[in-house]
Structure 1
């Protein structure tokens, strides 16, 4: 499931697309921290799971991508940075978002798990990928 840090990052975004808070919980450590996003908030694992469940009840992600993934390993820890994008609908209204993300992962219990996830949204794409 998460044999490499890259696998763990992909599994995170796939869990969001699959609207699967249980998968998110399995991909994170109990002391997980999430920050950034559209509201600029910082929450722990329970807060993230509550926000995800509320989002999943009203929205869906149809497509997602992770590009330019850079992994910096530090023993049982890895720092991953990348560009992300997603599109879907919220309350029946289409949306598209993109940004930059940094994930801190730790190799625990034989797999890579998220310790921290930070996203910064970028302005809407200008059609030229910028």
Structure 2
């Protein structure tokens, strides 16, 4: 599944771009927690899957990037902190978002799974040329 915490974070963002709620379910633990996203705060894998399915019906992510990832492993637990950026279309309107994220992952059944995900959005950077090589994948 996901050999490293970094792999798990990358798989998460790819599942978002692929509009794949089943992949998100496989990447999370049943008692998953989220805060800072569109729903504000959500609890549980079922809530994540429901929110993602609703989002995928209205939106798509065309490109994403994860930069500057710091990973701290503590045995079977890890904390990943990174900058993220995504662009796409929501209800027919293009969007660009960026921010900071912190993920808590647990090693379980041979792979790393998300226990918690927190995002803090930063101001819009549409047209920001500091990221000219934005390719929609981890760097």
TM bracket (short chain): over 0.9
The equivalent residue for 2:82 is 82
Displacement of 1:42 in angstroms is 3.1
Residues 34 and 45, structure 1, Cα contact 8 Å, conserved in 2: no
Q: 1:46: how far off?
A: 1.3
Question: How many residue pairs were aligned?
Answer: 130
- Please name the residue that 1:7 is paired with: 7
Q: CA RMSD in A?
A: 1.5
Deviation of residue 43 (structure 1)?
3.0
Name the SS for the 2:53 alignment partner. Answer: helix
Residues 39-92 of structure 1: per-residue CA shift (max 9 Å, x gap): 532332211111100000111000000000000000000000000000000111
Distance 1:40 1:52 in 2: 13
- What TM-score do you get using the length of structure 2 for normalisation? 0.88
Partner residue of 1:93?
93
Q: Does 1:70 align with 2:51?
A: no
Instruction: Give the secondary-structure state (helix, strand or coil) at the position aligned to 2:100.
Output: strand
Q: Residue 23 of structure 2 corresponds to which residue in structure 1?
A: 23
Q: How does 1:45-60 map to 2 (within 5 A)?
A: 45-60=45-60
TM-score scaled by structure 1? Answer: 0.94
Kindly indicate whether the alpha-carbon contact (under 8 Å) linking 2:100 and 2:119 is maintained by their aligned counterparts in 1.
yes
Whether the 8 Å CA contact 2:64–2:87 is kept in 1: the answer is yes
Asked if structure 2 preserves the Cα contact closer than 8 Å seen for 1:65 and 1:84, the reply is: yes
The separation in 1 between residues aligned to 2:124 and 2:91, in whole angstroms, is: 20
List 4+ stretches of structure 1 deviating above 4 A.
none
CA distance in 1, matches of 2:112, 2:28: 9
